Amino acid sequence: MRKIENLRNTLNGKVYIFCKDNQTAKEFLVDAEKEGYLFGAIKPTDSQPDDIIAIEENKQLAYVGFVGRTAFQCKNKDNLHKIDYAKYKSGADDYYVRDRE
């Protein structure tokens, strides 16, 4: 099974997790908590699920605000990794969110 920490350790720049639905978001929060991630001092499962969540340094999670959501809609940049969590968790090789043409 793939670990969230592997993303943080292998990707340079910002890592945004995209959850296609509420169930995927809840699964991400459960998995993140199992790996020791927090929203500040709050356990992920005590937080609200969202469709885009940033993985920060030191096992921290953050909600993505207006500017981050705008960046998420832009074409992929070297410093912003948009990960489809359902695909990543399933073991798919192609787990990046594709830009709209």
What are the pLDDT digits (tens) for 47-70? 999 999 999 999 999 999 988 888
Domain containing residue 40? 13-90
5 within some domain: no
Rounded CA-CA distance 40/46 in Å is 12
Residue 54 belongs to some domain of the structure:
yes
Q: What's the distance, CA 41 to chain centroid?
A: 18
Judged against a pLDDT cut of 50, whether residue 101 lies above it is answered with: no
| Tally of structural domains, the chain | 1
Residue 77, pLDDT > 80, answer no
Residue 7 maps to a domain: no
User: Coil, strand, or helix at residue 42?
Assistant: strand
> What are the residue ranges of helices labelled H in the chain?
4-10, 22-34, 66-73, 85-90
Contact predicate 16/52, CB 8 Å = yes
